[in-house]
Each structure stands twice: as C-alpha cells, then as structure tokens.
Amino acid sequence: ALVNSTEMFKKAYEGGYAVGAFNVNNMEIIQGIVSAAQEENAPLILQVSAGARKYASPIYLKKLVEAAIEETGLDIVLHLDHGEDFEICKACIDDGFSSVMIDGSKYPLDENIALTKRVVEYAHDRGVTVEAELGKLAGVEDDVKVSAKDATYTDPDEAVEFVERTGVDSLAIAIGTSHGAYKFKGDPKLDFARLETISAKLPNYPLVLHGASSVPQEFVELCNKYGAQIPGAQGVPEEMLRQAAHSGVCKINIDTDLRLALTASIRKTFTENPGEFDPRKYLGPGRDAIKKMVQHKIKNVLGCSGKR
Ligand code: G3H
Ligand code: 13P
Ligand code: NA
Ligand code: ZN
C-alpha cells in the first residue's frame, strides 16, 4: 500500500536500520528499485524532486508508483524531495503523495520553523508525514573552510528546538555529506560525534541523511572506461553508511548511485553494440544494473532486508 513514513521509521529506529529513499525520474528507474525491494522484502521510499516532477510531468510518476504498488503489494512511501516552498508541498499532498520534505535550510532558524510548521499543519490534517532540514549540506562547488564548517553543520540544541516547535516527523541533518558525485576532496569524514549528540537529545526521533550515495568506484570506472569524464568522483564509504543506519538515522537518500549505475550500463551497451538503437536494449540492462545496486544497498548497507 501507499503509506506515510510513521510506522516505517518507528520500526527502523527500533531495529537499528535505515530505509533507502531513492530518487525516481522514469519507469525503468522505478522498476529497478522496486524489484530489488520486492526481492529483499524491504520497506521502501521513492522520492520525487521538483526537477523530476517537471521532467515527467506531475501525474506520471505518481501513476508509475501506483502501478508498482499494485504489482508488488509492497508498502511504499511516495515522498517529495527538497520541497522549497509551501506551494509545492501542498501540490504534492493534494496529488496524493504520502510524505513531503519542506527544505527551509537556507533560511534563518525562525523562518525555517515558521515555514515548516505551516507545511506540517497542512500535511498532518491529511495524514501526510513531513521531513524538514536544519543545517546546510556543503554544495558540490562549496569549498567549505574548516573554521566556517561548524556553522553549516546542524546544531544539536537548535535541532531539539526545531523539532519541538514544528512537530515535524523527521529531520535531515548536516554532518558532512553533500549531494552529487564529488563529496570529499581528501579522506571522507563525517561528524559522527555530532550525530550521536543530536540523537541523544532527540531519543526515538528519526533522522535523515541526504547526500548519502557511496559513488561505487566500479561504476565510476565503467563510466570513464566507456567515454565518460567524471574523474575524482568520491562518495560516502559504505562502512560509514552502515554506522549511520545503526544510529537514529532512519532514512538514507540515494540518487547519484542510481545515475551512475544506469549511465555506466548504457555507456557499456553503446560501446559494445554500436549498431543497437532499440531503447529497450539499453534501458533494460540499465534497469537490471539499478536493481542489482539497490539490492546490494538494502542487504549490505541499509540493513533493511526482510524488514517489510
Ligand atoms: O537532492 C537532489 C537530488 O539528487 C535530486 O536531484 O533536483 O536534479 O532531480 P534533481
Ligand atoms: P546523493 O547525491 O548522494 O545521491 O544524494 C541524494 C539526495 O540527498 C536526494 O535528496
Ligand atoms: Na537507524
Ligand atoms: Zn537531498
């Protein structure tokens, strides 16, 4: 069934695992992810960004996710990723999403709280759960200096105040991850001490980790071997994600790894079979590559296999 995140996060918190939240943009991506979750009997969050919504047109992704639920009988959360204002959150709630993110992280604390609260009120009246964000993830180009770094990471006391004042269902925190394929210049490093502190101050409260792709070197190398130019791509090591999944982190966001798996596969097909121009012949293997990658995450990284 289409479900909100309440029970899923409660079980994840108690079970010491995380649910994968995968970004979807088309049918093959959805099918690859869903068949992995089905085989692993895993809980699943499919999330749609504003860009995905625009690319596919609002209704298509909703209908594809409905088809996946109908075919598999899985419990799936359909979630808006990084909603930037009240209006897009409202539109998705009205369209039948079961969960939304309001990302007010760029605003000062009081504004972020006011905006989040407004979305929470609208959503909760309709049985929809809400994720918010506090603290800023480093941008791909951001050259965050060590001295300025602390200011962008989530402040634990502010997190407590934020959750109390908004009533939001889950909170995305900044502890050193970032979006995209270039997460670290040197050695990967996350502020686990901060995560522990936040978690200790918010017992039984589900936290969310954005920018959590591991950027498997296997895919980067395949892409580059078959003509891509993505040198130096680096993600969050799987061991760190396992550690996060064992903590209060109940939702781990993955988009970049889907893009890399799909692109590596398509590039390989194009190089090896230059005469091929039937989309099913390259999107099909791409879908298989996504399934394999997601199944690995569910089993070996998130810990949510069999936790449906
Ligand atoms: O957080 C960003 C996600 O990777 C979605 O990316 O806005 O390009 O769809 P997008
Ligand atoms: P990645 O770029 O690490 O996959 O992060 C995705 C994300 O946080 C979507 O909200
Ligand atoms: Na967890
Ligand atoms: Zn994100």
What integer pLDDT is reported at residue 101 of this predicted model? 98
With a cut of 90, say whether residue 147 has pLDDT above it. Answer: no
What integer pLDDT is reported at residue 138 of this predicted model? 76
55 neighbors 286 (Cβ within 8 angstroms): no
CB distance 181 to ligand 2 below 6 Å = no
Q: What atom of ligand 1 comes closest to residue 55's alpha carbon?
A: 9
131 neighbors 101 (Cβ within 8 angstroms): yes
Give the pTM. Answer: 0.97
What integer pLDDT is reported at residue 131 of this predicted model? 99
Exposure of 98 in the CB half-sphere (CA atoms within 13 A):
17
Q: Is 213 annotated as a binding residue?
A: yes
Instruction: Give the number of other Cβ atoms within 10 Å of residue 239's Cβ.
Output: 11
| Mean pLDDT across the chain | 96
With a cut of 50, say whether residue 141 has pLDDT above it. Answer: no
Q: What is the average per-residue pLDDT within 264-288?
A: 98
Residue 119 exposed, middle or buried by CB count within 10 Å (0-12, 13-18, 19+): buried
Instruction: Give CA–CA dist 290/254, Å, rounded.
Output: 12
Instruction: Give CA–CA dist 303/2, Å, rounded.
Output: 22
Instruction: Give CA–CA dist 256/180, Å, rounded.
Output: 6
pLDDT digit string, tens, across residues 42-55: 999 999 999 999 99
With a cut of 50, say whether residue 15 has pLDDT above it. Answer: yes
CB distance 53 to ligand 1 below 6 Å = no
Nearest to 56 by CA among 96, 94, 99, 26: 26
CA of 210 to the centre of ligand 4 (A): 4
- Specify if 308 maps to a domain: no
Q: Name the CA dihedral angle for 86, 134, 14, 19, rounded to a multiple of 10 degrees.
A: 60
| Domain containing residue 36: CATH number | 3.20.20.70
Residue range(s) defining the domain that contains residue 129: 6-302
pLDDT digit string, tens, across residues 243-253: 999 999 999 99
pLDDT digit string, tens, across residues 99-132: 999 999 999 999 999 999 999 999 999 999 999 9
Which residues participate in catalysis according to the annotation?
81
Q: What atom of ligand 1 comes closest to residue 256's alpha carbon?
A: 4
- Identify the residue whose C-alpha is closest to ligand 1 atom 5: 49
With a cut of 70, say whether residue 74 has pLDDT above it. Answer: yes
CB distance 255 to ligand 1 below 6 Å = yes
pLDDT digit string, tens, across residues 199-223: 999 999 999 999 999 999 999 999 9
Backbone angles phi, psi at 79, to 5 degrees: -125, 135
- Considering its fold, how many domains does the chain have in total? 1
Q: What is the average per-residue pLDDT within 281-302?
A: 98
Q: Is 211 annotated as a binding residue?
A: yes
- Specify if 1 maps to a domain: no
CA of 51 to the centre of ligand 1 (A): 7
Q: Which percentage of the chain shows pLDDT scores above 90? A: 94
What integer pLDDT is reported at residue 148 of this predicted model? 58
What ipTM was predicted for this assembly? 0.99
266 neighbors 277 (Cβ within 8 angstroms): no
Instruction: Give CA–CA dist 161/164, Å, rounded.
Output: 5
> Which ligand ends up closest to the CA of 180?
2
- Identify the residue whose C-alpha is closest to ligand 2 atom 5: 211
Q: Is 179 annotated as a binding residue?
A: yes
pLDDT tier, 149 (very low <50, low <70, confident <90, very high otherwise)? low
Nearest to 100 by CA among 110, 112, 109, 88: 88
- Specify if 307 maps to a domain: no
> Which ligand ends up closest to the CA of 55?
1
Q: What is the average per-residue pLDDT within 84-92?
A: 98
pLDDT digit string, tens, across residues 154-197: 999 999 999 999 999 999 999 999 999 999 999 999 999 999 99
Instruction: Give CA–CA dist 161/171, Å, rounded.
Output: 12
> Which ligand ends up closest to the CA of 260?
2
Residue appearing with tokens 């860009």: 51
Nearest to 200 by CA among 146, 247, 256: 247
CA of 180 to the centre of ligand 1 (A): 9
CA of 21 to the centre of ligand 2 (A): 9
